[in-house]
Amino acid sequence: MRVVSGSRKGIPLKSLPGTNTRPTSDKVKESVFNIIGPYFDGGTAVELFGGSGSLSFEALSRGADEAFVFEKNAKACAIIQANAEKCRFTEEVHIQRADARHAVKVLQAAGAKADLLFIDPPYAETKFYDLVQEFVEADLLSEGAIIVCEHEKQLALPDAYGLYRKIKSPVYGNVAITIYEK
């Protein structure tokens, strides 16, 4: 696993050994960023269920200003910190050792809105996709925000969350990515 493109292209990223986390493959990550826009001019990325922080580091490498990464596993947070140091993004990455259900409160306290929202919970925990609705209701998505949900291909996510409509849902093997825009 590595940073696929941008200012930190090619930097290898660590991930937690075992099955506690499931890093997004480089192929899927590259496809997602090709769909949502290969490069950014600023903005805030929010990654729920960070694991290794791979999606946030990719967004930062491609021009995002900052990233909030939520991960409740202490060992995974240490991996995210190590990856931030390796990529020289320690100032831009805000690692939150917290359950993703606390993300709304943390972002409200920080006065931050997401330009990119990544949700990639454990596949068996489908209830966590409802966090998208919490972000919509709390007005924590910028005007041009993009929402990216990674899930098992068998899971059908809603066609919309508020004004955010499903624009694409490509499938890569057993993984599907559902992307929403306003």
Per-residue pLDDT at 158: 93
**Domain housing 56:** 26-181
Distance of alpha carbon 132 from the chain centroid: 12
Of 100-109, 120-129, 159-168, give the lowest mean pLDDT range.
120-129
Q: 18 or 99, which is more confident?
A: 99
Of 27-31, 78-82, 92-96, give the lowest mean pLDDT range.
27-31
* Residue 1 covered by a domain: no
3-class state of residue 67 by DSSP: strand
The angle at the Cα of 175, spanning 169 to 41, to the nearest 5 degrees, equals 60
Q: List beta partners, residue 48.
A: 70, 119
**pLDDT over 70 at 90, yes or no:** yes
Q: What whole-number percentage of the chain has pLDDT above 90?
A: 76
* Residue 5 covered by a domain: no
Identity at 63, one-letter amino acid code: G
Nearest Cα residue to 152 out of 180, 181, 129, 182: 129
Give me the number of domains the chain comprises: 1
C-alpha dihedral (150, 155, 156, 157), degrees to nearest 10: -40
H helices within 24-180, ranges in order? 26-36, 54-61, 74-87, 103-110, 131-137
Per-residue pLDDT at 127: 84
* Residue 167 covered by a domain: yes
Of 22-36, 77-91, 134-148, give the lowest mean pLDDT range.
22-36
Per-residue pLDDT at 27: 86
Identity at 70, one-letter amino acid code: F
CATH number at residue 126: 3.40.50.150
* Residue 47 covered by a domain: yes
The pLDDT of 40-50, averaged and rounded, is 94
Per-residue pLDDT at 19: 55
